[in-house]
Amino acid sequence: MTREQLFRYFVLAVLAFLGYQILKILSPFYAGILGAIVVTLIFYPMHQFILARVIKDRPNPAAVLSTFVVVAFIVFPFLFFTWILLRDMADYFPRIEMLVRSVQNWSHSGGGGSFPWLAKLEGRLQLWSRLPNINLEGLLLPVFKSVMNAGFQIWKMLARNLIVLVINLAVMVFTLFFLFRDGPILLGKIKEVIPMDPRHKDQIAHQLYLTVTAIVRGIFFVAVTQGVLAGLGFLIGGVSSPVLLGFASVFAALIPFIGATIVWLPVGIFCLTQGSVGQGVFILLWGGLVVSLVDNFLRPYLVGTRAKLPILFLFFGILGGIKVYGPTGLFLGPLVVAMLIAFVKIYREMYASKEIPVQK
């Protein structure tokens, strides 16, 4: 090994060590930094317009104005609706606690007709199907208990992590200014140190941009749509606090597997347990046939089509990313899939497409 090779390996080892330490230092702020990167990618065309037309060739004031616009139209409304959520939560928590307690009491006592509406429904089903041993309480209420406990724990976690949320929002706003101002310079510096052909670096960067924007627009557009539809259903059904429940549905729609179901399903069952059968049936039908089906139609179209990713890979990328990285896996998982596909394309262009000479 030559002295030059030894020095190169030494520098790479030091860079790897320092990079790992920097990642550990920034680890408490991953959510805020990732949020700032995502918001910058979404709103950077607006910043370019401000820099070119409104505040010409003045990066600092343009970055301040762009950050203010994002804060005014995203952060402030988010904080306002969060305040409404927490205000109404104080009234809604006793109802949830009472319902969870009643289901737990039913579970410990072994049933026994705790919910009259289920007994009536059992009688009708027995008459219709001529099956004498239908036990809806034994089938439905254990599932209902698990759903309610999970939802209750999520709501309590949101209230406990309010301070962390505020800190991440502050980090996001602070980082957002510098990304608006210095984003192209930082991107250029990163691309310079990557030992690849410039065309391939641009190809990877373009694929990552398409993926991030598609994920963000798909996730949040679907979540907001589901929240609006859920809130409309609660309003039509006469459920109290429809704004609270609709806003909660927006957050819940971001959770894989569960989604907005964790909001409208307990609400519908709660209405049934209180004797409001028509109201409960309407909420359950509206949630199952309107709110949940929106996700199945919109998300694959918005994300997969724009990002040009296979729907199957995108599906497993999101779910696996959440399993490995936590909530940030919503973005990191598909980004890893996009990087893999981009590198496979580069490999095909550079090597697989070349003709291999056949030995005679």
- Quote the tokens at residue 274: 């209180």
Closest-CA residue to 243 (of 230, 254, 260): 230
Question: What pLDDT is recorded for position 21?
Answer: 92
Q: Assess if residue 184 is contained within a domain.
A: no
Question: What pLDDT is recorded for position 115?
Answer: 54
Q: Assess if residue 326 is contained within a domain.
A: yes
Q: Assess if residue 98 is contained within a domain.
A: no
Q: What is the mean pLDDT of residues 100-105?
A: 58
Q: Assess if residue 341 is contained within a domain.
A: yes
Whether residue 254 contacts residue 330, with contact meaning beta carbons closer than 8 Å, is answered with: yes
Q: Can you tell me the distance from the alpha carbon of 160 to that of 89, in angstroms, rounded to the nearest whole number?
A: 13
Per-residue pLDDT tens digits for 180-239: 999 888 888 888 888 888 888 888 888 888 887 787 778 778 888 888 999 899 888 888
Cβ atoms within 10 Å, residue 141: 22
Cβ atoms within 10 Å, residue 343: 15
- CA dist 110 → 62, 147, 259 (Å): 66, 19, 31
Q: Cα 134 to chain center, whole Å?
A: 39
Question: What pLDDT is recorded for position 336?
Answer: 85
Q: Assess if residue 52 is contained within a domain.
A: no
Phi-psi region of 112 (alpha: psi -120 to 50; beta: other; left: phi over 0): left
| Listed range (5-19, 300-314, 327-341) with the worst mean pLDDT | 300-314
State the DSSP H helix or E strand holding residue 288, giving kind and residue range, or none if neither.
Answer: none
> Does 360 have pLDDT greater than 50?
no
Q: Can you tell me the distance from the alpha carbon of 144 to that of 140, in angstroms, rounded to the nearest whole number?
A: 6
Q: What is the mean pLDDT of residues 295-315?
A: 73
Q: Can you tell me the distance from the alpha carbon of 148 to that of 96, in angstroms, rounded to the nearest whole number?
A: 8
Q: Assess if residue 147 is contained within a domain.
A: no
Q: What is the mean pLDDT of residues 327-344?
A: 80
- Quote the tokens at residue 178: 């510098």
Q: Domain range spanning residue 280? A: 197-349
**Number of separate domains in the chain:** 1
Q: Assess if residue 83 is contained within a domain.
A: no
Per-residue pLDDT tens digits for 21-67: 998 898 888 878 888 888 888 888 889 888 888 887 788 899 999 99
Q: Assess if residue 213 is contained within a domain.
A: yes
Q: Can you tell me the distance from the alpha carbon of 320 to that of 333, in angstroms, rounded to the nearest whole number?
A: 7
